[in-house]
Amino acid sequence: MFSKMLIANRGEIAVRVIRACKDLGINTVAVYSEADQNSLHVRLADERRCIGPAISSKSYLNVRSILDAAKASKAEAIHPGYGYLAENGEFARACAREGFVFIGPTPENLALAGDKINAKNIVENAGVPVIPSSRVGIVKLEEAIRFSEEIGYPVMIKASGGGGGRGIRICASEEILRGEFSVAKMEARAAFGNDEVYIEKCITEPRHVEFQVLADRRGKVIHLGERECTIQRRYQKLIEESPSSRLTPPLRQTMGEMAIAAARAVRYFNAGTVEFLVDPHDRFYFMEMNARIQVEHPVTELVTGVDLIKEQIRLSSGESLGYCYEDLKPRGWALECRINAEDPDKNFLPSPGIIKEYQPPGGFGVRVDTHLYQGYELPMYYDSLICKLISYDLTREGAIKIMKRALAEFTIKPIKTTIPLYLKIMDDPFFKQGIFSTHFIEKFLPEDEEEGEG
Amino acid sequence: MRVQSSATKRVEVRAPMSGIFYRQPGPDQSPYVEVGDRVEKKQVLALLETMKVFQKIKSPVSGKILEIVQANEAPVKDDDVLFVIDAQA
C-alpha cells in the first residue's frame, strides 16, 4: 500500500478521497489554487501545496505544476478525482513516466473511453447491444441525411470528442438536421478543438441506467449493480439512485453481464462505469464507458457496502478482487441529490458567495458529501456542485422520506441552492412511483427557460 | 457646426453577479465590441463566466460604446461597471 497520496482535485471529491486515504492510513497531500486557500480539502489534508492561480487551466489542469507538487512532497500516487485531469491519458502517462501511480484506469483505457466511436465498435464486437449510429465521423451534410434516413428520425448529432452531454443536438426531421449540422460542427470545434461529429439514433422516453464495474490487474472484472440516472437537466444528472426501479431481476442480470463483457472487451482496469439507455420495451443499448470514479458513486456504496475510492486505491496498488456482486448481498435503496449553488427559479443561474449559515442534516440514513462549512466563501471560478446529499433505507419509499426530511433540515444561507427543487420532486407522484424519463425535469422548470448558455 | 440634436445619456452596464469577464467569444477570436462601436439594444457585449456557466452580457440600449471598464479575463464583482454606453434616443 502507498504511504503518501496527492489528490489532484478540489471540492467535495477531494474531501472524499482524503477521507478514504485516512481510513487506509495513507498520508495526504492537497493541492490548491490561490482561490482555494480556505477550502476544506486544504484543511483536512496532512500537507498542502499551492499549484497556481484561480483559473483552473493554470492550477487544477496544470500538469507540470501538479507533478512538481507530487515530487516535492514525495507522494507515491496521485488520485485525480473526477473532472479536471481524471480522464486525461497524457496526464496518466506523465504520472507513470515520472514515477507516480495514477489511481485510475490505464492511459489506453482513457484514450479509448474518449474515442466513443471506436469504443462502440469494440464493445459491439463483444456482443453488447449499441445504439445505431454512424460510427465514423461525418463531414458532409448529405452523408448525415443519408444515414439518418437509414436509421430513422429522431437522430442526434454528437461531437466525437465530446463528453458530459455537451455538443449534442436533437433533430426530429431532415429539415432540422439541415439547419443544425453546420452549427453542431462549429460548436464541436469551439468546445473540443475537433469538429468531427457523428449521427446517432435518438431513443425516445429512455431511462439512463449505468453499471459500476471494478477490474483488477489480472483481468478479473465484476459489476456492483446499477445506478438510475434518468433525472437530468441538459444532460447533467440531478438525482441518482441504486437500484433502479426500472430493472427487473432478469434484466439486471443480463445488463450486468453485458457491462462486464464491455469492460473486458476494452481490457479495462480499476473503477469505471458502463452507461446504458433502456427503452420502454426493455431493450437496452450501450452508450459509453466512463473511465473515472463518478459523482454518483455513493449510492452504489450504500447498497453494496463497498468503499469505491478505497477499492480504486487497493486495485492500483496491485491487489486483486476476491469477490463478486452476488457475494456482496446488496440490499436497501439509496438516493442522491446533487445540490448546486444555482437558483432554480432564475434559470439555474449560479450563486457564488459567502456561506453565512450552514447547518447540514443528519440522523439515520443520511450521508452528506460536501466541502462546505459555515463562513466558507464559494469561489466563482469552479463548478456549482456544493453537496451530494444521500439517503438510504431498506425501501425506495423509505429512502424518499428520509431524503425529504434531510432536504427540509438543510440550511445553506444566503446563497441560492437547488434544495427547493428537490423538495418538490420528492413530493411528485410520478417520482414516488418510479415513473419517469429523461424529460421528467421539464415540468419543474419555468416555461421561459432560455436555451443555450454561451 | 450644429450641436448634436438627439438626446444622449450615459448608461452603465453592470455585472449581474460576480464572474470572469470575457470580451471575446473565444481565446482566438476578436472582441465583441471596441470603444467607439455603435451597438444595438440586446447586442452581445461580453461574456461572464460564473462557476463554469457562461452568460451573455447584452446591451440594455442602442448607442455608442464610450468606455470598456474591465480588462479581458478580469474577475469582476456583482454590480461592477463593465461598459459605459452613450445611449442615443
Residues of B with CB under 8 A from a CB of A: 16-20, 25-26, 47, 50-56, 73, 75
Whether the Cβ atoms of residue A71 and residue A53 lie closer than 8 Å to each other = no
At A57, the amino acid letter reads S
Q: Of B51, B55, B56, which is closest to A380 when you measure between CB atoms?
A: B51
Name which of B79, B26, B75, B18 is nearest A33 in CA terms. B75
Neighbouring C-beta atoms of residue A200, cutoff 10 Å? 25
- pLDDT band at B2, cuts 50/70/90? very low
Q: What is the pLDDT of residue A450?
A: 47
CB contact (8 A) between residue B55 and residue A453: yes
Q: Do A349 and B56 touch (CB under 8 A)?
A: no
Q: What is the pLDDT of residues A317-351, one digit of tens each?
A: 999 999 999 999 999 999 999 999 999 988 899 99
DSSP labels, chain B: -PPP-S-EEEEEEE-SSSEEEESSSSTTS--S--TT-EE-TT-EEEEEEETTEEEEEE-SSSEEEEEE-S-TTEEE-TT-EEEEEEEE-
Partners of residue B17 in chain A, C-beta under 8 Å: 349-352, 380
Query: What sign has the CA pseudo-torsion B78, A385, A361, A7?
Result: negative
Catalytic residue (one of A10, A207, A252, A292): A292
- Probe site for chain A from B21, B51, B53, B55 (most A CB atoms < 10 A): B51
Whether the per-residue pLDDT at A451 is higher than 50: the answer is no
Residue A448 confidence (pLDDT): 59
CB < 8 Å to B53, chain A: 348-350, 384, 453
CATH of B15-88, one of 3.90.1150.10, 2.60.40.10, 2.40.50.100, 3.40.630.10: 2.40.50.100
Are A454 and B17 a contacting pair at CB < 8 A? no
Checking if the pLDDT of A420 tops 70, the result is: yes
Mean pLDDT across A211-217? 98
Give the least confident one: A116-120, A161-165, A236-240, B2-6. B2-6
Architecture of the domain delimited by A132-201? 2-Layer Sandwich (3.30)
CATH code given to domain A4-103: 3.40.50.20
Is residue A415 less than 8 Å (CB to CB) from chain B? no
- pLDDT-above-70 percentage for chain B: 91
Q: Would you list the domain boundaries of chain B?
A: 15-88
- In this prediction, residue B48 carries a pLDDT of 95
Nearest to B51 among A55, A190, A350 (CB): A350
Look up A227 and say whether it is catalytic: no
Question: What is the pLDDT confidence band of residue B53, given thresholds at 50, 70 and 90?
Answer: confident
Mean pLDDT of chain A: 94
Whole-number Å distance between alpha carbons of A363 and A391: 10
pLDDT on residue A452: 42
What residue segments make up the domains of chain A, in order of their start? Answer: 4-103, 132-201, 207-444
**How do residues A42-65 score in pLDDT, each as one tens digit?**
999 999 999 999 999 999 999 999
pLDDT digit string, tens, across residues A271-287: 999 999 999 889 999 99
Quick one: fold of A207-444? D-amino Acid Aminotransferase; Chain A, domain 1 (3.30.470)
Name the residue with cell 454528437. A158
Task: Return the SS3 of A336.
Answer: strand
Reported confidence tier of residue A159, pLDDT bands at 50, 70, 90: confident
Distance CA A341, CA A384 (A): 5
Using CA coordinates, name the residue in chain B closest to A385: B51
pLDDT of residue A453: 39
Alpha-carbon distance B84 to B67, whole Å? 5
* A188 against A8, higher pLDDT: A8
Assess whether the region A4-103 and the region A207-444 belong to the same CATH fold: no
Question: In whole angstroms, what is the distance from residue A448 CA to residue A346 CA?
Answer: 10
- Check CB contact under 8 Å for B19 and A454: no
Taking Cα atoms as reference points, which of A348, A248, A217, A226 lies closest to residue A296? Answer: A226
Nearest Cα to Cα of residue A428 among A389, A408, A400, A388: A400
Residue A410 has pLDDT above 70, yes or no: yes
A123-151 pLDDT tens trace: 999 999 998 888 778 989 999 999 999 99
Of the candidate ranges A385-394, A402-411, B3-12, the one whose mean pLDDT is the lowest = B3-12
The pLDDT confidence band at residue B6, using thresholds 50, 70 and 90, is low
For an interface test with B, give the residue of A192, A380, A415, A449 to mutate (most B CBs within 10 A): A380
pLDDT for A185 beyond 90? no
Alpha-carbon span B57 to A123, nearest angstrom:
45
Report in angstroms the alpha-carbon separations of A450 from A38, A59, A345, A439, B23: 35, 32, 13, 16, 22
- Does residue B64 carry a pLDDT above 90? yes
Mind telling me how many Å the CA of A41 is from chain B's nearest CA? 18
